[in-house]
C-alpha cells in the first residue's frame, strides 16, 4: 500500500471527513437515497465536476489559476454534441488542438511572465465565442458511445462512484507517482532549485497546462454524456466550482501543495452539498450562499489546523 | 511633433483610437443616419462598465493577485434592496441611495475581513463573499419586480443637453477617481503598494488600512452601478450583474492599467468601455453574431497583455 | 595525506569578478586537491560566496581560467559542474518544501528515473543519511515542509553526499552546521573527514572557527576579493585566524566622535534572545556580525513595533532606508521626486491633497543638499545610477520627521564618493539629535558608529562602545570560538 506522510494524511482527512459527515446527513434526511439508484443520482453530476477540478488542480500546482475552465468545458461540450457525433475525426482533431492550445498558453505565460488570471480571462471570452458559434441555441446530441458510457450500470456500485474512483486513481498516479508529476509540483514548490537541478521549467509548465486541457476535455465529454445535449453556457459554474473543489480537497493556491484524491473528494462534496441543502429544505435562495459559507468554513478550519500544526513544530 | 509622440505613448490613446475607429465604421454602414442615437446609446451603456471598471481599477492597482469577483453580486443585491426600500416613492430616492452605498460598504468590509482573517488570496475571498451576497439578493428579490421611483426612472433614461444623464454620473465619478488617484496622498499610497508591498510598508504606509479602504470603495462603486442599472432597466433582475464580472476586469486591462499593479488609468476605462459597447453594435450592424464579438474581445485582451508584457517576476 | 602528484579537482586561476564598482573577486587563485578539506574563512564581502559560485558553475568569472583534472574547462556551467561531481549545500533552502525527501532526491538526480524510481530514490537518500547522520530517523517519504529546520539541513547535506550515478567528488558546505546541534554537527564533520580520507574533496565555510580548525587540512583566508593566506590548518590558531582576516585594516575610517551618550534619553529598546538592545537620542548604533545572522530581522522588528499597518501616523516614530533597493526600496514606475516624497506626504499635503508646489520645493532642496545627479527630479528613478538611487532613498528617510532612522546595509554596492557624502550627512543629522540604527556589512562603516552590537545566530552576543569598536573586536565576536 502507499505509504503516506502524516501531514498528507491529515490534509486528506478534513475533506474525507466532511464528505462522510455530509453523506451521513443526507442519508439520515432521506433514507431512500441509500440505494444504487439514489447514490447514482446524488453523484451523477459529480463526474464532470471532478474532472474539471483535477484539470484546475494541474494549473494550481504551478501556482497559476485558470479562469476559463467553465467556458472551456462548455466549448468542449458543444464540440462533443456536434462534431464528435457527426464527424468524429474532425471532432477529435478540434479537441486535440484545444489541448495543444492549453499547452501553448502555459509556454506563453511562462516565457512572457504574464499573469495567468488575465490570460485565461481573455481565453474565456474566446472559448465562449467559439461555443456560441457552434451552438447559438441549446441543442446538439451526445454521441451514442458517450451516452452509453455515462449511463452504464455496473453491478453493485453505481457508475458515478466507479468513475470518481478511476479519476482519482489516474490523477494520483500522474501527480504523485510519475516523475512528471513530481516535476510539476516541484515547480510550484521551489522553481529556482528545480531549475538549478537542470530541468526545463517551460516544459514543466506546458505539461501542466496540457494535462489540464486534457482533463477539461474529458469533463466536457462526460457532461454531455449526462445531459444528452449541450449549450454554450452549460458549464459556466465550473470555473468557480473547480477552484473551490481543489481548495476543499486540501489544495493550496501557491506552493504546489495539491492532492488529486482530495480534489475528487472536494468535487464530490460540492455536488453533495447542493443535494444536502435541498433535502434540508433550505430554500433554494440560500443554496449558493451556503456553498460560499461552507467554503469559508473549510478555509477557516484549515487555518486553525495549520496554526496548531505549526505550534507543534515550533522547535 | 514631440507632443504627438507623447500623446501616443499614453496607454489610454489606444483604447480611444479603437473606439473611434469602430464608431466611425458603424456610422459609415448606416450612412450617418444613426450618429446621434449610436453615440447616446454608447455613452449610456458604457456608463455602467465605467463605474464598475473604476472600482476594479483601484483594486487591480493594489498589485498582483488583487481582484474583486464580488462585483456582480454586489450590483444585484444593491439594486434589489434599494428598489424594494424605495418602493416606487420619489421621496425615498436619497435614503435608497444611502442603502445601496451601505450595502457596498458592508460587502467591502466583508471582503477584506476574509482576505485578512483567513489569509486567503483576494480572488477566493471575494468569490466566497459573492456567493453569500448573491444568495441574499435572491432571497430579497423573490421574483418580484419592483419598479423604480418615477423620477429616477426618468433621470436614468433621459439626457441633459444631449448627453445621457448616466454618462454625466460616470463622468463625475471618473473625475473624482482621477482626483483621488492623481492628487491625494491616498492615491500615491495605492500606487506605491501596487509597485511593491514591502517597499510601501517600509516607507511607513499603512498598508492594511489602504487596502481595506480600496476594497470598500470598489464595492461601493459596484453597489452604485447596481442601483443605477436597476433604475435604468425598470427593475432589478437576478442576473443583472453577471455580465459585469468579466467586463469590469476587461475594461481595466484594455484601458491600459498595468495588470501588475501600481499604474492606473482613468481615461483608458472610458475608451475601453465605449469600445466594448461599440464592437457589439458594429457587429450587430454588420450582422455578425455574439460569437465573433466574444472571440474578438478575448483576443484583444490577450494581445493587450502580450504587448504590455509582464513587468514583475513572480506576478501572477 | 596530500598527494601533490594528483591533479586538482577544480582549479581557479586569477579569477576576477566585479559587480558595478565592487570588485567581488580580485584575482583569486585556488586549487582543490582530491583528498583534502579546505576551510574557507573571511568576513562579509571577502569574496567567499563569489568564489563558491564560480566553482559550482553559477557564475562565470569575467577574467581568469577554470580547469578540472588538469584540463581547461571551456563551457562551464551548473550542469557541467554537476556532471563533474561538484555539489553545493547552500545557506538558503534549496529543497521543494511541498515534496517528500525521496521526491526531492528524484529532482536532484536526473539519472534516477523510470519505473520504480520512488524506492530507488528512497534508498539513495536513506543510505546517504545513514552514512552522514547514523540514527537520523528521517524517512524518505516524509514531506520536507514538515521536517524541523535541523532535519531539512540534514537532508540537504545528505543530498550533497548521495551517489546516484554521478559520485560526488567536491562538496561545498556553506555554513552547514548553522541549524544543527553539537552532536549532529560532530557527526557531519566526522563524515567529512571520512569522505576526505576516501579521496573526496570538501570546501568548508563556517563561522565557528573550532570546526574549521579541527576538520580542515588547509585553511584559506579571504579578504577584499583576494586570498590573503593559504596555509595548512595546524599553522593557525583561533586567534591567528581572526588576526589574519583583519590583517589588511584600512586606516581611513578614522573614528569621528567619541561622545558619551549614557545620559541621553533612550528612544528605542528591544529585548529578545541575547543582550538587550537600546538606542539613545543622537546616537549612531551599529549592528555588525556576519551577514544573515539576524540583523535585518531586528530592523524589521523595530520598524514593525513602531509603525502601524492600519492607520496613518501624524508623527512617524521610525523611518527605514532599504539595502535591497529592488525588494523594499525603490518604486520602479515612479519619478525621482515621487520616490523621494512618499514617506513624508503627511507634511506635504493639506486635507489629503498633495501640494505639488511644496513637494517640488522640498525635492529641489534635498536634491541640492544630497547632490542627486539628475537634470530633472521628474525623471524616472531607474534613470539614476545605483548610488544615486540609494541617495534618493536616504533623502526619503531623512526628509521625514522621524527621530530614528533604521538603515539596512544601504551602502552595499555604492561607490566610494557617494559613501563619503552619506557618512557626512549621517554625522550632521546625528549631531542634530537624530538616532541612527545602522546595520552594515562593511567594517569601516561599523567603525564609524558610536556603539556596536554584534550579532551571531540571531542574537546579540556583544556590545562594543567607544574605543572598543574595532575590527579585531567585531571579528572576534562574529566568529564563535571554542574558548570564549
Q: What is the DSSP letter of A174?
A: I
Q: pLDDT tens across C314-344, in order?
A: 788 899 998 877 778 899 889 999 999 999 9
**pLDDT confidence band for C5 (50 / 70 / 90):** low
- Candidate from A118, A123, A292 with C-beta closest to B131: A292
The domain of A163 spans 6-304
User: Above 90 in pLDDT, residue A91?
Assistant: yes
pLDDT for position C250: 45
Q: pLDDT tens across C276-299, in order?
A: 899 999 899 999 988 878 888 899
Q: Same domain, yes or no, for C195 and C338? A: no
B114 CA to centre of own chain: 22
Q: Has residue C345 been placed in a domain?
A: yes
pLDDT for position A2: 42
Distances (CA, A) of B9 to B294, C344, C356: 28, 30, 24
Provide the angle, in degrees to the nearest 10, between the axes of the packed helices B207-232 and B243-254: 120
**pLDDT confidence band for B109 (50 / 70 / 90):** very high
pLDDT for position A31: 86
Asked if the C-beta of A136 comes within 8 angstroms of chain B's C-beta atoms, the answer is: yes
DSSP bridge pairs for C407: C321, C438
Contacts of A246 by beta carbon, 8 Å cutoff, 6+ apart: A53, A56, A57, A60, A258, A263, A266
Mean pLDDT is lowest, of B87-96, B141-150, C57-66, C390-399, for B141-150
Q: Same domain, yes or no, for C342 and C212? A: no
DSSP bridge pairs for C222: C227
Q: Mean pLDDT in chain B?
A: 87
Q: Same domain, yes or no, for C302 and C449? A: yes
**pLDDT confidence band for A311 (50 / 70 / 90):** low
Contacts of B101 by beta carbon, 8 Å cutoff, 6+ apart: B220, B223, B224
Contact A130/B138, CB-based, under 8 Å?
no
CA atoms within 13 A on the CB side of C276: 7
Quote the CA–CA distance of A159 and A150 in Å, as a whole number.
Answer: 7
Span B69-78, average pLDDT:
93
Residue C405: which of C375, C373, C439 has the closest Cα?
Answer: C439
Chain B positions contacting chain C at CB under 8 Å are 183-186, 188-189, 191-192, 195-196, 198-209, 212, 258, 262-263
State the smallest CA–CA distance between residue C306 and chain B in angstroms.
Answer: 10
User: Above 90 in pLDDT, residue A223?
Assistant: yes
Residue C233: which of C67, C86, C40, C376 has the closest Cα?
Answer: C40
Asked if the C-beta of B290 comes within 8 angstroms of chain A's C-beta atoms, the answer is: yes
Contact C78/A198, CB-based, under 8 Å?
yes
Quote the CA–CA distance of C229 and B107 in Å, as a whole number.
Answer: 67
Q: Same domain, yes or no, for C361 and C419? A: no
Quote the CA–CA distance of A166 and C353 in Å, as a whole number.
Answer: 62
Check which CATH number belongs to the domain holding C463 and give it.
3.40.50.300
Span C68-77, average pLDDT:
84
Quote the CA–CA distance of C371 and C376 in Å, as a whole number.
Answer: 12
Which residue matches cell numbers 552576543?
A: C461
**Max mean pLDDT range (C43-47, C425-429, C440-444):** C425-429
Contact B185/C354, CB-based, under 8 Å?
yes
In terms of CA atoms, which chain C residue is nearest residue A193? Answer: C94
State the smallest CA–CA distance between residue A299 and chain B in angstroms.
Answer: 7
Residue C332: which of B258, A302, A279, B129 has the closest Cα?
Answer: B258
**pLDDT confidence band for B22 (50 / 70 / 90):** confident
Q: Has residue C251 been placed in a domain?
A: no
State the smallest CA–CA distance between residue B220 and chain C in angstroms.
Answer: 20
Quote the CA–CA distance of C327 and C310 in Å, as a whole number.
Answer: 22
Contact B212/C310, CB-based, under 8 Å?
yes
Span C21-50, average pLDDT:
86
More confident residue, A288 or C125: C125
Is there a contact between C403 and C317 (Cβ–Cβ < 8 Å)? yes
Edge to edge, the sheet with strand C318-321 lists C318-321, C404-408, C435-439, C284-288, C451-456, C459-465
Q: pLDDT tens across C362-389, in order?
A: 999 998 888 888 888 999 898 887 788 8
Contact B206/C312, CB-based, under 8 Å?
yes
Complex ipTM value: 0.87
Q: pLDDT tens across A132-188, in order?
A: 999 998 988 999 999 998 888 888 888 899 999 999 999 999 999 899 999 999 999
B213's grid cell: 479602504
Residues belonging to chain C: 484
Which CATH number describes the domain made up of B37-306?
A: 1.10.3470
Which residues, numbered 81 to 120 in chain A, qualify as contacts with chain B under a Cβ-Cβ cut-off of 8 Å? Answer: 108, 112-119
Q: pLDDT tens across B277-314, in order?
A: 888 888 777 777 788 888 888 888 888 778 765 444 33
Q: What percent of chain C has pLDDT over 90?
A: 30
Contacts of C437 by beta carbon, 8 Å cutoff, 6+ apart: C268, C279, C285, C287, C299, C302, C404, C405, C406, C407
Is there a contact between A208 and A66 (Cβ–Cβ < 8 Å)? no
Q: Which residues of C touch A190 (CB under 8 A)?
A: 93-97
Span B222-248, average pLDDT:
89
Asked if the C-beta of B144 comes within 8 angstroms of chain A's C-beta atoms, the answer is: no
A306's grid cell: 495549520
In terms of CA atoms, which chain B residue is nearest residue C318? Answer: B204
Asked if the C-beta of B250 comes within 8 angstroms of chain A's C-beta atoms, the answer is: yes
The percent helix, strand, coil of chain B (3-state, each to 5) is 75, 0, 25
pLDDT for position A206: 96
Angle value at C-alpha A263, between A258 and A264, nearest 5 degrees: 150
**pLDDT confidence band for B316 (50 / 70 / 90):** very low
Interface mutation vs chain B, best among C307, C340, C351, most B CBs within 10 Å: C307
Contacts of B179 by beta carbon, 8 Å cutoff, 6+ apart: none
Is there a contact between A95 and A85 (Cβ–Cβ < 8 Å)? no
Residue A69: which of A209, A236, A244 has the closest Cα?
Answer: A236
- Candidate from C93, C96, C113 with C-beta closest to A194: C96
Q: Has residue A44 been placed in a domain?
A: yes
Q: Same domain, yes or no, for C63 and C177? A: yes
Contacts of C469 by beta carbon, 8 Å cutoff, 6+ apart: C255, C286, C446, C447, C449, C450, C451, C452
The pairing of beta strand C459-465 with beta strand C451-456:
antiparallel
Q: pLDDT tens across C165-185, in order?
A: 788 999 999 888 878 888 899
Q: Which residues of C touch B193 (CB under 8 A)?
A: none
Q: Write down the domain spans for chain B.
A: 37-306
Quote the CA–CA distance of C11 and C30 in Å, as a whole number.
Answer: 6
Angle value at C-alpha C343, between C337 and C344, nearest 5 degrees: 85
Q: Mean pLDDT in chain C?
A: 86
Span C219-243, average pLDDT:
88
State the smallest CA–CA distance between residue C382 and chain A in angstroms.
Answer: 21
User: Above 90 in pLDDT, residue C65?
Assistant: no
In terms of CA atoms, which chain C residue is nearest residue B193? Answer: C331
pLDDT for position C271: 84
3-state SS class at B149: coil
The domain of C268 spans 258-317+402-484
Q: What is the DSSP letter of C208?
A: B
User: Above 60 in pLDDT, residue B111?
Assistant: yes
**pLDDT confidence band for A3 (50 / 70 / 90):** very low
What number of C-beta contacts closer than 8 Å exist between A and B?
147
This model's pTM is above 0.90: no
Q: Same domain, yes or no, for C180 and C304? A: no
Asked if the C-beta of C345 comes within 8 angstroms of chain B's C-beta atoms, the answer is: yes
In terms of CA atoms, which chain B residue is nearest residue C300? Answer: B202
pLDDT for position C421: 82
pLDDT for position A1: 34
Q: Which residues of B touch A133 (CB under 8 A)?
A: 289, 291-292, 295
Q: What is the DSSP letter of A139?
A: B
- Candidate from B64, B67, B301 with C-beta closest to A125: B301
Interface mutation vs chain C, best among A190, A191, A192, most C CBs within 10 Å: A190
Domain count, chain A: 1
Which residues, numbered 258 to 297 in chain A, qualify as contacts with chain B under a Cβ-Cβ cut-off of 8 Å? Answer: 283-293, 295-296
Quote the CA–CA distance of C321 and C390 in Å, as a whole number.
Answer: 9
**pLDDT confidence band for C248 (50 / 70 / 90):** very low
Contact C353/B198, CB-based, under 8 Å?
no
Asked if the C-beta of C108 comes within 8 angstroms of chain A's C-beta atoms, the answer is: yes
Distances (CA, A) of C6 to A243, C34, C55, C235: 60, 8, 19, 23
Is there a contact between C36 and C201 (Cβ–Cβ < 8 Å)? yes
Contacts of A257 by beta carbon, 8 Å cutoff, 6+ apart: A11, A188, A189, A250, A251, C98, C145
User: Above 50 in pLDDT, residue B87?
Assistant: yes
Q: Same domain, yes or no, for C192 and C289? A: no
Asked if the C-beta of A133 comes within 8 angstroms of chain B's C-beta atoms, the answer is: yes
Secondary structure (H, E, C), B64-116: CCCCCCCHHHHHHHHHHHHHHHHCCCHHHHHHHHHHHHHHHHHHHHHHHHHHH
Q: Same domain, yes or no, for C441 and C476? A: yes
Asked if the C-beta of B238 comes within 8 angstroms of chain A's C-beta atoms, the answer is: no
Contact A3/C99, CB-based, under 8 Å?
no
Q: Same domain, yes or no, for C231 and C286? A: no
Q: Which residues of B touch C308 (CB under 8 A)?
A: 206, 209
Domain count, chain C: 3
- Candidate from A129, A131, A285 with C-beta closest to B293: A129
pLDDT for position A274: 76
pLDDT for position C447: 86
3-state SS class at C405: strand
The pairing of beta strand C404-408 with beta strand C435-439:
parallel
The pairing of beta strand C170-174 with beta strand C201-205:
parallel
Amino acid at each position: 500500500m502507499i505509504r503516506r506522510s502524516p501531514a498528507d494524511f491529515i490534509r486528506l482527512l478534513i475533506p474525507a471527513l466532511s464528505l462522510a459527515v455530509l453523506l451521513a446527513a443526507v442519508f439520515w434526511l432521506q433514507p431512500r437515497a441509500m440505494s444504487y439508484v439514489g447514490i447514482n443520482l446524488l453523484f451523477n453530476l459529480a463526474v464532470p465536476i471532478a474532472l474539471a477540478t483535477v484539470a484546475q488542480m494541474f494549473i494550481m500546482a504551478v501556482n497559476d489559476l485558470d479562469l476559463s475552465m467553465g467556458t472551456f468545458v462548455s466549448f468542449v461540450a458543444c464540440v462533443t454534441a456536434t462534431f464528435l457525433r457527426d464527424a468524429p475525426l474532425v471532432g477529435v482533431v478540434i479537441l486535440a488542438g484545444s489541448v495543444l492550445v492549453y499547452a501553448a498558453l502555459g509556454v506563453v505565460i511562462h516565457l512572457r511572465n504574464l499573469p495567468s488570471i488575465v490570460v485565461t480571462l481573455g481565453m474565456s471570452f474566446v472559448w465562449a465565442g467559439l461555443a456560441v458559434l457552434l451552438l447559438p441555441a441549446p441543442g446538439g446530441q451526445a454521441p451514442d458511445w458517450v451516452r452509453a458510457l455515462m449511463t452504464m450500470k455496473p453491478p453493485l456500485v453505481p457508475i458515478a462512484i466507479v468513475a470518481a474512483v478511476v479519476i482519482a486513481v489516474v490523477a494520483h498516479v500522474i501527480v504523485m507517482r510519475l516523475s512528471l508529476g513530481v516535476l510539476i509540483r516541484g515547480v510550484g514548490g521551489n522553481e529556482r532549485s528545480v531549475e538549478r537541478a537542470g530541468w526545463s521549467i517551460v516544459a514543466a509548465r506546458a505539461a501542466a497546462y496540457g494535462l489540464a486541457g486534457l482533463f477539461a476535455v474529458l469533463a466536457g465529454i462526460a457532461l454531455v454524456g449526462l445531459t444528452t445535449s449541450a449549450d454554450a453556457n452549460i458549464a459556466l459554474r465550473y470555473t468557480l466550482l473547480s477552484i473551490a473543489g481543489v481548495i476543499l480537497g486540501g489544495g493550496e493556491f501557491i506552493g504546489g501543495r495539491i492532492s488529486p484524491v482530495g480534489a475528487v473528494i472536494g468535487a464530490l462534496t460540492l455536488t453533495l452539498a447542493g443535494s444536502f441543502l435541498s433535502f434540508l429544505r433550505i430554500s433554494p435562495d440560500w443554496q449558493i450562499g451556503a456553498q460560499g459559507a461552507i467554503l469559508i468554513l473549510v478555509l477557516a478550519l484549515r487555518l486553525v489546523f495549520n496554526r496548531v500544526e505549526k505550534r507543534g513544530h515550533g522547535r | 511633433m514631440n507632443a504627438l509622440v507623447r500623446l501616443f505613448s499614453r496607454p489610454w490613446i489606444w483604447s480611444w483610437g479603437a473606439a473611434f475607429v469602430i464608431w466611425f465604421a458603424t456610422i459609415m454602414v448606416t450612412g450617418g443616419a444613426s450618429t446621434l442615437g449610436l453615440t447616446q446609446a454608447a455613452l449610456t451603456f458604457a456608463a455602467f462598465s465605467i463605474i464598475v471598471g473604476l472600482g476594479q481599477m483601484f483594486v487591480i492597482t493594489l498589485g498582483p493577485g488583487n481582484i474583486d469577483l464580488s462585483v456582480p453580486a454586489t450590483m444585484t443585491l444593491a439594486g434589489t434592496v434599494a428598489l424594494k426600500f424605495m418602493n416606487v416613492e420619489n421621496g425615498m430616492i436619497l435614503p435608497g441611495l444611502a442603502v445601496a452605498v451601505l450595502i457596498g460598504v458592508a460587502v467591502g468590509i466583508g471582503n477584506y475581513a476574509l482576505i485578512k482573517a483567513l489569509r486567503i488570496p483576494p480572488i477566493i475571498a471575494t468569490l466566497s463573499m459573492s456567493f453569500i451576497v448573491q444568495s441574499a439578493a435572491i432571497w430579497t428579490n423573490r421574483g418580484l419586480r419592483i419598479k423604480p421611483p418615477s423620477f429616477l426612472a426618468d433621470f436614468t433614461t433621459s439626457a441633459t443637453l444631449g448627453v445621457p444623464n448616466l454618462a454625466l454620473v460616470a463622468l463625475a465619478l471618473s473625475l473624482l477617481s482621477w482626483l483621488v488617484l492623481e492628487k491625494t496622498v491616498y492615491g500615491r499610497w495605492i500606487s506605491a503598494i501596487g509597485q511593491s508591498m514591502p517597499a510601501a510598508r517600509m516607507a511607513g504606509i499603512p498598508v492594511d488600512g489602504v487596502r481595506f479602504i480600496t476594497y470598500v470603495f470598489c464595492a461601493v462603486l459596484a453597489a452604485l452601478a447596481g442601483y443605477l442599472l436597476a433604475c435604468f432597466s425598470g427593475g432589478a433582475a437576478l442576473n443583472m450583474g453577471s455580465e459585469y464580472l468579466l467586463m469590469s476586469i476587461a475594461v481595466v486591462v484594455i484601458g491600459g492599467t498595468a495588470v501588475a499593479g501600481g499604474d492606473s488609468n482613468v481615461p483608458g476605462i472610458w475608451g475601453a468601455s465605449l469600445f466594448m459597447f461599440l464592437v457589439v453594435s458594429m457587429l450587430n450592424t454588420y450582422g455578425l453574431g455574439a460569437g465573433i464579438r466574444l472571440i474578438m474581445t478575448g483576443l484583444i485582451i490577450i494581445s493587450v497583455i502580450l504587448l504590455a508584457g509582464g513587468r514583475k517576476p513572480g506576478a501572477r | 595525506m596530500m598527494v601533490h602528484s594528483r591533479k586538482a579537482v577544480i582549479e581557479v586561476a586569477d579569477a576576477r569578478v566585479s559587480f558595478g564598482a565592487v570588485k567581488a573577486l580580485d584575482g583569486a587563485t585556488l586549487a582543490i586537491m582530491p583528498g583534502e578539506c579546505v576551510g574557507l574563512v573571511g568576513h562579509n564581502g571577502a569574496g567567499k560566496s563569489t568564489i563558491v559560485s564560480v566553482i559550482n558553475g553559477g557564475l562565470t568569472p569575467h577574467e581568469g581560467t577554470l580547469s578540472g583534472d588538469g584540463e581547461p574547462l571551456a563551457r562551464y556551467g551548473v550542469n557541467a559542474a554537476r556532471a563533474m561531481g561538484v555539489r553545493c549545500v547552500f545557506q538558503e533552502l534549496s529543497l521543494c518544501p511541498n515534496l517528500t525527501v525521496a521526491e526531492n532526491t528524484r529532482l536532484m538526480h536526473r539519472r534516477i528515473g523510470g519505473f520504480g524510481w520512488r524506492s530507488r530514490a528512497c534508498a539513495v537518500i536513506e543510505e546517504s543519511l545513514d552514512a552522514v547522520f547514523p540514527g537520523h530517523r528521517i524517512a524518505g517519504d516524509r514531506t520536507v515542509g514538515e521536517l524541523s529546520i535541523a532535519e531539512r539541513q540534514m537532508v540537504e547535506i545528505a543530498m550533497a553526499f548521495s551517489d546516484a550515478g554521478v559520485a560526488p567528488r567536491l562538496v561545498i558546505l556553506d555554513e552547514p552546521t548553522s541549524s544543527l546541534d553539537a552532536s549532529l554537527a560532530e557527526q557531519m564533520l566526522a563524515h567529512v573527514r571520512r569522505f576526505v580520507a576516501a579521496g573526496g574533496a570538501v570546501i568548508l565555510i563556517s563561522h565557528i572557527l573550532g570546526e574549521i580548525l579541527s576538520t580542515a587540512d588547509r585553511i584559506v583566508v579571504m579578504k577584499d576579493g583576494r586570498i590573503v593566506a593559504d596555509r595548512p590548518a595546524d599553522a593557525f590558531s583561533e586567534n591567528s585566524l581572526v588576526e589574519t582576516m583583519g590583517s589588511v585594516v584600512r586606516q581611513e575610517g578614522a573614528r569621528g566622535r567619541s561622545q558619551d551618550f549614557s545620559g541621553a534619553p533612550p528612544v528605542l529598546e528591544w529585548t529578545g534572545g541575547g543582550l538587550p538592545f537600546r538606542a539613545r537620542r543622537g546616537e549612531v548604533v551599529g549592528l555588525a556580525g556576519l551577514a544573515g545572522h539576524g540583523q535585518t530581522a531586528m530592523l524589521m522588528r523595530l520598524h514593525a513595533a513602531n509603525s502601524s499597518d492600519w492607520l496613518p501616523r501624524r508623527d512617524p516614530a521610525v523611518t527605514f532606508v532599504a539595502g535591497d533597493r529592488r525588494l523594499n526600496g525603490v518604486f520602479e514606475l515612479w519619478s525621482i521626486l515621487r520616490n523621494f516624497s512618499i514617506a513624508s506626504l503627511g507634511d506635504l499635503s493639506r486635507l489629503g491633497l498633495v501640494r505639488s508646489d511644496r513637494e517640488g520645493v522640498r525635492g529641489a532642496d534635498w536634491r541640492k543638499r544630497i547632490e542627486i545627479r539628475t537634470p530633472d527630479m521628474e525623471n524616472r528613478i531607474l534613470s539614476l545610477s545605483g548610488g544615486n538611487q540609494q541617495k534618493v532613498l536616504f533623502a526619503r528617510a531623512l526628509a521625514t520627521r522621524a527621530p530614528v532612522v533604521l538603515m539596512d546595509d544601504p551602502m552595499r554596492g555604492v561607490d566610494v564618493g557617494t559613501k563619503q557624502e552619506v557618512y557626512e550627512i549621517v554625522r550632521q543629522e546625528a549631531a542634530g539629535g537624530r538616532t541612527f540604527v545602522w546595520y552594515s556589512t562593511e567594517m569601516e562603516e561599523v567603525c564609524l558608529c558610536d556603539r556596536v552590537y554584534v550579532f551571531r545566530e540571531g542574537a546579540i552576543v556583544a556590545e562594543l562602545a567607544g574605543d572598543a569598536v574595532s575590527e579585531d573586536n567585531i571579528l572576534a565576536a562574529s566568529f564563535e570560538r571554542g574558548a570564549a
